[in-house]
Amino acid sequence: MQIPLPKIDLPRLPFTPEQASTIAGHVDALYLYLILITLFFSILVVVLIFYFAVRYRRRTPDEIPPPVEGSLVLETVWTITPLLIAMTIFVWGASLYFALYRPPTDATEIFVVGKQWMWKFQHTEGLREINELHVPVGAKIKLTMTTEDVIHALAVPAFRIRADVVPGRYTYLWFEATKTGRFHLFCTEYCGTNHSGMNGWVVVQDPAEYQAWLSGGASESPAAQGEKLFQSLGCASCHKMDVQGRGPMLIGLYGKPQKLDNGQEVIADDAYIRESILDPQAKRVLGFGSVIAYIHSLAAPQGGGTANTAAPASGSTTTSGIAPDTQRSNPVGPTSPRTQRNTGGAMQPANANANTPRGTPPP
């Protein structure tokens, strides 16, 4: 059952994120209510303290004021009043919570898998994305989420939604975006070394634009298409946008001179970039030989799981007898209960028995 929420049209308050979902205005309204309560009580207490502290300051060193008896009436008043106010907040908060965590039945489902350290999204049409989620504006979207490894949490501040993503179980979120644009999406449950890199964007598009995107994105600019390739081919996992990854940072690179590890310098022009994409080793940027050295070391054949290549944390000393690769060679679970239909066996569970989520998959 969906609790219908009254329509709220609240202007955006300072220091709040954009209101980009139907629920956002409601959360902000509750926020405003709570701020007013906070202001009222803190100003009350602070003003009283200041007033008393000045009015009744000590005038002579040996002054002893007469004792004041307690007052049952006052105690009752300031027990009952906050209790009543607290109950209003409780009811308001709880009704919002139910609205947030009860996906409408007519919502479009999108499957989400968290993984150290990226978000994988899969549309019912079969399209997959990483760290970016395209949705049409004004549509109810339900996210069915799980994780391959540790607990993550998906949060979109502009939508005021968040839920933990728990291994071995499905969790759900839903939203209805009200405006187009790009909105930050974060992992907010600490999940290891690159936790802060596990973020991305929700791209809210006009329905027509979204349809075009779904059907291959022909209408997009070459730069936008390139970005998609950059993301989907995994380049982004080493060439990071905000921190120094395993590959050189690409922001501000174009047209600038680059120091190479053989001491030479090249201008990062079209020719150099094309050459580096096709043959990364031809001219290597100074300081980025380690991955290549690592690949060299793999020349001798080695056994073991390469299915999941997420490397263990840097300085991977194992303290407790758990070899990092044995932990990781058994990634949990499918993307979604419906994956089989859409993608064949690509995302089959690795160990169906142990991985069956506690809940029954949605019908």
Report the nearest approach of another protein to the CB of residue 238 (Å).
14
Pick from 1, 73, 218, 223 the residue near another protein by CB under 8 A.
1
Report the nearest approach of another protein to the CB of residue 5 (Å).
10
* Residue ranges in 317-356 that form contacts with another protein under rule CB under 8 A: 317-322, 324, 327, 330, 332, 351, 353-355
Nearer to another protein by Cβ, of 69 and 279: the residue is 69
Q: In which residue are the tokens 């907010």 written?
A: 188
Nearer to another protein by Cβ, of 86 and 292: the residue is 86
* Residue ranges in 96-155 that form contacts with another protein under rule CB under 8 A: 96-103, 116, 144, 149-151, 153, 155
Report the nearest approach of another protein to the CB of residue 227 (Å).
18
Q: Using the Cα atoms of residue 218, residue 223, residue 226 and residue 227 in order, give the sign of their dihedral.
A: negative
H or E element in which residue 172 lies: strand 171-176
Rounded distance, CA 106 to CA 104, Å? 6
Q: State phi, psi for 356 to the nearest 5 degrees.
A: -60, 120
The 3-state DSSP class for residue 152 equals strand
Nearest CA-CA partner of 96 in 147, 31, 146, 154: 31
Tokens of 67: 């004792």
Residues 6+ apart with CB under 8 A from 263: none
Nearer to another protein by Cβ, of 117 and 210: the residue is 117
Pick from 27, 113, 202, 236 the residue near another protein by CB under 8 A.
27
DSSP-derived secondary structure letter, 66: P
Tokens of 124: 């019912």
Nearer to another protein by Cβ, of 102 and 274: the residue is 102
Nearer to another protein by Cβ, of 184 and 283: the residue is 184
Pick from 4, 11, 70, 344 the residue near another protein by CB under 8 A.
70
Contact 117, 147 (CB under 8 A): no
The site that binds another protein (CB under 8 A) totals a number of residues, namely: 115
Nearest CA-CA partner of 113 in 170, 158, 157, 160: 170
Report the nearest approach of another protein to the CB of residue 150 (Å).
4
Angle at 199 between CA 198 and CA 204, to 5 degrees: 150
The 3-state DSSP class for residue 213 equals helix
Rounded distance, CA 149 to CA 329, Å? 11
Say whether residue 309 binds another protein (CB under 8 A): no
Interface characters, 159-198, with another protein (x: CB under 8 A) = -xxxxx-xxxxxxx-----------x-xxxxxxxxxxxx-
Nearer to another protein by Cβ, of 321 and 345: the residue is 321
Nearer to another protein by Cβ, of 139 and 151: the residue is 151
Say whether residue 223 binds another protein (CB under 8 A): no
Say which amino acid occupies 144.
T
Pick from 4, 6, 65, 304 the residue near another protein by CB under 8 A.
65
Q: State phi, psi for 27 to the nearest 5 degrees.
A: -65, -40
Pick from 110, 143, 158, 204 the residue near another protein by CB under 8 A.
158
DSSP-derived secondary structure letter, 197: G
Nearer to another protein by Cβ, of 73 and 300: the residue is 73
Nearer to another protein by Cβ, of 103 and 248: the residue is 103
* Residue ranges in 72-101 that form contacts with another protein under rule CB under 8 A: 74-75, 78-79, 82-83, 86-87, 89-90, 92-101
Say whether residue 287 binds another protein (CB under 8 A): no
Report the nearest approach of another protein to the CB of residue 111 (Å).
12
* Residue ranges in 225-284 that form contacts with another protein under rule CB under 8 A: 242-243
Say whether residue 67 binds another protein (CB under 8 A): yes
The 3-state DSSP class for residue 165 equals strand
Nearest CA-CA partner of 156 in 114, 185, 182, 129: 185
Nearest CA-CA partner of 307 in 275, 342, 347, 363: 347
